[in-house]
Structure 1
Amino acid sequence: MIYAEFEPGRALLGTIEFGQPVDEVPMSLAELRESARRVLGVDVPFEEPKGPGPHALRRINGQNTRHAERYRVGRVLLLGDAAHVHSAMGARA
């Protein structure tokens, strides 16, 4: 789950899931809610953005996101950044 507030009233909310989404169907707030429920196991309260915008709902898929098939083999255990790679979504310089 990703949450970043850039300034009052302007935030980024997202989830990272593996698999291929259906890109032909526009993303909805309901889809974001369902994804948050799958990732966190609970409902996350949020509402439609307010203000002039721009506001965007979009899917980002296949951009340097992957994780290890196995985390342990014998005496080798992968942890933290060694076990996954994901985009720096929301990172700011």
Structure 2
Amino acid sequence: MSTPQIDVAYIAKLARIDLTEEETALFSKDLDKVLAYITKLESYDVTGIAPMNHPLPAMDVMREDIPETGFTQEEALSNAPQQSQGQFRTPKVVESA
């Protein structure tokens, strides 16, 4: 099977990217290498090999959701620089329209 050719200038035009002649030649050379490698991969017999979407087995990395006792309101506000009516008091960050 022969390696297909890609018209880099045409693809760049479709993507509205201005490429110099040097860039076009460089990208064309790089794409030819990629396509040659894909052609090489196509030559391997993969009959009987199950498809996979990731090389490593999927595992659940989440821990169990176990309810725990949280802070009391007094404990949460104990280090607050300013508090008012049992709530954190912060500087105004949104201006009125």
Q: Does the alignment reach a TM-score above 0.5?
A: no
Question: Which protein is richer in strand relative to its size?
Answer: 1
Question: Which protein is richer in helix relative to its size?
Answer: 2
TM range (shorter): under 0.3
TM-score (norm 1): 0.20
TM-score (norm 2): 0.20
